[in-house]
Structure 1
Amino acid sequence: MKIAMIGTGYVGLVSGVCFSDFGHDVVCVDKMPEKITMLERGEVPIYEPGLDAVMARNVEAGRLTFTTDLATAVDGADAVFIAVGTPTRRGDGHADLTYVMAAAADIAHALTDYTVVVTKSTVPVGTNRKVANVIRATRADAEFDVASNPEFLREGAAIDDFMKPDRVVVGVESERAKQIMGEVYRPLFLREFPIVYTDLESAEMIKYAANAFLATKISFINEIAALCERVGADVKSVAKGMGLDGRIGNKFLHAGPGYGGSCFPKDTSALARIGQEYGVPQRITETVITVNDMTKRRMIDKVMDLCGGSVNGKTIAVLGVTFKPETDDMRDAPSLTVVPALVGGGAHVRVVDPHGRREGEVLLPGVDWVEDPYAAAEGAECLLVLTEWNQFRALDLRRLAGSMVTARIADLRNIYSREDALAAGFVEYEGVGRASISDLSAAMRDAAE
């Protein structure tokens, strides 16, 4: 099949590359000539493990090409995917559909034969019908159907998620569109991965509902973590005990500094606004957003308290600033809340991140970038773990502590234990959902009273 992918951002590029690996002929389109030139050179503009190899394999096979010429890409395509950005609109929290509607109009001008126009971007309920209206208004004679095909790609594991999905969701309204989408995903159907066919609105809602639920699990365990610190419980044990219940599961029950990234913040905000618009407030989702914001701010207090109430004049080594490991994505990362607060408080901040520097240098002014965790910790008064990269999980704690002026560690991802840190020479350890000695003492006094 011939496929055109409009947009070469994270979703568009990963999807286009993987579709070509299915054996389809794929043309990826972008309005930015410099990005297309980079891709034609074999350079991937994002960090995603394994993507460069799969892309190179399919370019060499002649199944994958890149262009700025949308009309040529759309001409004769069986399916055209819209995979452009839908950022949160400033001021009201709604998803900004400017790029989606512009793409729909451009596609309409370029249509030559029957085509399925597929929305891959995450969009509010009703957007696919608006896309259809834009195409009809632009080209009354166009022969097409629209389909909703939301993505469920985890950054850092996107190739596996596309090739071995939990499910593929396809919203269609005609048998012809369903057949074409079935051919697009035929390799997955043959391997018996679930393909859920539904109506347009349900497909759009599935994406928001799924992400809001996962965000809810994260905010829930972070609230429980705060309570664990006060009562003397360990949130890792609590999460393990919860997760062994088959009705709950253990995923997304890892306490930390809050969620970030390109999906959860944007999608929870959009779902909350959709609920308000239709007069059905999404109170749980609204609370999840509030709790996540509070969690990020609570992390600032943790570091401040660990440093005696002030970071002014102190050197702080920060390990990791991307919102999660195995990605270079900084969007809504907890570091964008925590690090500026430390800099604003007068701290000298050194940052090390395997892939976060390119975006981080723009988003985190006033910090020093180093390439090595041990160099970052040299002469520091606090070591702060913000992203749990594998490179940070097996550091020589004794070496780190020995190089610091005051060996304190704020382990906001709980990758080390208090016992190991103190045994290695750290004088203070602060995790998330793990009571400190002072917390335990307070909890015991409260219980006794």
Structure 2
Amino acid sequence: MRISVIGAGYLGLVTSVSLAQIGHNVVGLEPDRDRAEQLKNGLLPLYEPGLKGLMKTNMNEERLSFTHDRTQALNDTDVIYIAVETPLLSNGRVDLTAVEQASIDIATTISQPVIVVIKSTVPLGTLTNIEKLMKKHTKIPFQMVINPDFSRQGNAVHDTFYGDRIVLGAVNDQAANVVEEINIPFQIPIFKTDISSAEIIKYASNAFLATKISFINDIARLCENAGANIDDVAFAIGLDDRIGRKFLGAGLGYGASFFPHEVAGIEQAAENVDYRSSLLESVLRVNNNQHSVFMKKAKEVMDGEFLGKKVALLGLSRKPKTDDVRGAISIRIANYLLDLGANVTAFDPKAIPNAMKVLPEEIEFASTIEEALIDADVAFIMTDWDQFKDLPLSKYEELMNRARIIDGRNCYPLDYVRNYKIEYHSFGRPPVWIEEESELKQ
């Protein structure tokens, strides 16, 4: 089937490449000419595991192409996917500017009937509003379907081919059936419903996961006050099949993923239908306070003295296996450390180029973990990259001015840390002191 995809960000590229991989002829529309030229030359402008190889394969087999030409992309096609970014505005609302512009571009360009599929994350009621907007700009008939994305950034390719379900929302059964036919080769269960339900399913799914994260972080604070171990608590409650073990990891919270988007979106949806969710308000409040909890812990560990201290900031991306720093807690922490007078040296396996665009020039960037740790007074672990979890703890002993770690992701088991002369602080678990220090603390 002939498919066009508007958007060449994380969502748009994964959508384009995946649809080509299962046999469709796909044209990706990227309005930015320079970025479109990069893609036409097989250059991936972002990092997503497994995506580059699939993109090149499908381009070589002529199932996938890219263009900045709207007419070339949107005419002579059967189905058009809108897969543009919908970031959060400063007021917490979802920014639909790109979705609205894409719909206008479609309406003013198409010369034959099409099916428009909304893949972007949008609040309740968006599809109806977009349909009205398009009808103002075209008399050509079109049908609309919403197909929410459930993939995780950093695991998007895997999730697309091995997901739990594909959800389709539509008014017109024929349009839904066409999009169902497109997705059958993925061999993933397909669930068809009405538009409003499909819009809410996306937000409700991730809002529920966000609730689990805020819940376990709240329990982690209780554990610290009670001298308990959140690892043991989370493991035990996760054995209950009704609860499950996933998303029960205490730490800095979900600011390093898309969950703020989902929670804000479902709150916005609730407002649109005159409903207020006190539960989600609490979820947001707990999560938004996590970086403050982290810095309070850090100040206590450092006796409030950051002036002139070298901080090794390990991890800049908002989650592992991506170079995306939008909304990353590490960016806020880095700026806060500078305000305290610290000397910050940061390292991330993939995200440094993007972080350099948004962080002050006072931040130093290391080319290796070891370089970041040399003569550091304290190390902050902000992202749970495997490179950090696999780093021998002896490196902290050897390289740091003082082997002191404040772990925002609970990367290391406490029993493992106790084998080294390292001062270690994490979320919801007892601290590990260097032997001499432990005597002083008593």
For the superposition of Structure 1 and Structure 2, which TM-score range results when normalised by the shorter chain? over 0.9
2:379 maps to 1:380:
no
Note the C-alpha offset of 1:94: 1.8
> Does the 8 Å contact 1:317/1:383 carry over to 2?
yes
Question: Matches of 1:179 and 1:357 in 2, distance apart?
Answer: 44
> Does the 8 Å contact 1:381/1:404 carry over to 2?
yes
2:45 maps to 1:50:
no
Deviation sequence 1:275-304 (CA, Å, 0-9, x none) = 233221021111111111111111111111
* Larger deviation, residues 108-117 vs 28-37: 108-117
Root mean square deviation, CA, Å: 1.5
> Does the 8 Å contact 1:383/1:410 carry over to 2?
yes
Counterpart of 2:406, as a letter, is A
Moved over 6 A (4+): none
Counterpart of 1:228, as a letter, is C
Aligned residues: 432
| Closer/same/farther in 2, CA of residues 88 and 326 from structure 1, 3 Å limit | same
| Closer/same/farther in 2, CA of residues 182 and 214 from structure 1, 3 Å limit | same
* Structure 1 unaligned regions, length at least 5: 439-449
Note the C-alpha offset of 1:430: 0.4
Q: 2:225 is matched with which residue?
A: 230
Counterpart of 2:282, as a letter, is T
> Does the 8 Å contact 1:319/1:352 carry over to 2?
yes
Question: Matches of 2:379 and 2:262 in 1, distance apart?
Answer: 32
* Identical-pair percentage: 38
Question: Matches of 1:4 and 1:261 in 2, distance apart?
Answer: 30
> Does the 8 Å contact 1:120/1:148 carry over to 2?
yes
Q: 1:67 is matched with which residue?
A: 67
* TM-score of the two chains, using structure 1 as the length reference: 0.93
* TM-score of the two chains, using structure 2 as the length reference: 0.95
Deviation sequence 1:166-192 (CA, Å, 0-9, x none) = 10000011122022112211202xx3x
Note the C-alpha offset of 1:83: 1.0
> Does the 8 Å contact 1:78/1:180 carry over to 2?
no
Alignment of 1:272-291 (within 5 A): 272-291=267-286
Question: Matches of 2:388 and 2:87 in 1, distance apart?
Answer: 31
Note the C-alpha offset of 1:274: 2.5
* Structure 2 unaligned regions, length at least 5: 434-442
Q: 2:100 is matched with which residue?
A: 101
> Does the 8 Å contact 2:318/2:330 carry over to 1?
yes
| Closer/same/farther in 2, CA of residues 136 and 262 from structure 1, 3 Å limit | farther
Q: 1:77 is matched with which residue?
A: 77
- Structure 1 residue matching 2:191: 3-state secondary structure: strand
2:403 maps to 1:404:
no
> Does the 8 Å contact 1:2/1:26 carry over to 2?
yes
* Larger deviation, residues 27-36 vs 299-308: 299-308
2:21 maps to 1:13:
no
Counterpart of 1:149, as a letter, is N
2:195 maps to 1:200:
yes
Note the C-alpha offset of 1:76: 2.3
Q: 2:148 is matched with which residue?
A: 150
Deviation sequence 1:357-386 (CA, Å, 0-9, x none) = 011112222211112222211111111111
Q: Which of 352, 355, 361 is 2:356 aligned to?
A: 361
- Structure 2 residue matching 1:415: 3-state secondary structure: coil
2:320 maps to 1:321:
no
Note the C-alpha offset of 1:165: 1.3
Deviation sequence 1:244-275 (CA, Å, 0-9, x none) = 11111111111111112462112211221222
Q: 2:173 is matched with which residue?
A: 175
> Does the 8 Å contact 1:258/1:292 carry over to 2?
yes
> Does the 8 Å contact 1:299/1:338 carry over to 2?
no
Q: Which of 332, 337, 340 is 1:342 aligned to?
A: 337
Deviation sequence 1:91-120 (CA, Å, 0-9, x none) = 3x2212121111111101222222111111
Q: Which of 263, 266, 289 is 2:258 aligned to?
A: 263
